[in-house]
Amino acid sequence: MEEFPELSTKRLRLRELRESDAPVLLSIFSNPHTMRYYGSEKMTGIEEIEGMLMSFKQGFEKKQAIRFGIELKETGELIGTCGLHNWAKRVNRIEMGYELNQEKEGKGYMSEALSIMIPFAFQQMNIHRIGALIHPNNNSSRKLVQNLGFREEGVLRDYVYAGGVYMDLIMYSILTKEWYTA
């Protein structure tokens, strides 16, 4: 992939993130509700968001990751992000992450976004396995990936450190053959 791809669903456009998205991203990544299970500290300033955007851009340029902005087609409003990272090319394995503006939760947007991103990973990136690391108490995220066909594999004990505490994460995964037979 030389150019950043754009993916589309009935309601959503998955597109490259831009510097102009920084204020919206700050509102998402500084929200305690959104960040409570994220596995990192909430962001406190636009400089952190700019650094994150640079990291996303470099990940794509180095063909190590891709992070999409999730935009409502009808209004052009950015409502979250989703992406693929920790790409182990030798074994065609990658991990997925996502977050959504709290006000947009419960409307099926993330399921819709991931339903187009996952086949993109399998078909365009030649991925064999997609993993998702989820906090045990994040029931909505666990339900989301299970509804998409991911299987729970096990608990990674004290896997991340955020907010002054170690947190367990549950590993979920889906294989390309499982996606296309589901």
Is the full-model pTM beyond 0.85?
yes
Per-residue model confidence (pLDDT) at position 181: 72
Confidence tier at 180 by pLDDT (50, 70, 90):
confident
Confidence tier at 70 by pLDDT (50, 70, 90):
very high
Per-residue model confidence (pLDDT) at position 165: 87
Average pLDDT over residues 56-71: 96
DSSP assignment letter at 18: -
Question: Over 90: is that where the pLDDT of 182 sits?
Answer: no
Half-sphere exposure (Cβ direction) of 77: Cα atoms closer than 13 Å: 11
How far apart are alpha carbons 39 and 44 in whole angstroms?
16
How far apart are alpha carbons 169 and 159 in whole angstroms?
6
Full DSSP string of 55-104: HHHHHHHTTS-EEEEEEETTT--EEEEEEEEEEEGGGTEEEEEEEE-GGG
Please write the tens of the pLDDT for every residue from 19-51. 999 999 999 999 988 888 877 778 889 999 999
Is the alpha carbon torsion for 8, 22, 104, 73 positive or negative? negative
- CA 106, distance to chain mean position in Å, is 16
Q: In the chain, where are the structural domains located?
A: 7-179
Please write the tens of the pLDDT for every residue from 92-144. 999 999 999 999 999 999 999 999 999 999 999 999 999 999 999 999 999 99
Q: Are 31 and 102 in contact (CB under 8 A)?
A: yes
Which of 144, 83, 85 shows the shortest CA–CA distance to 109?
144
Superfamily for domain range 7-179: Gcn5-related N-acetyltransferase (GNAT) (3.40.630.30)
**Cα end-to-end span (Å), the chain:** 27
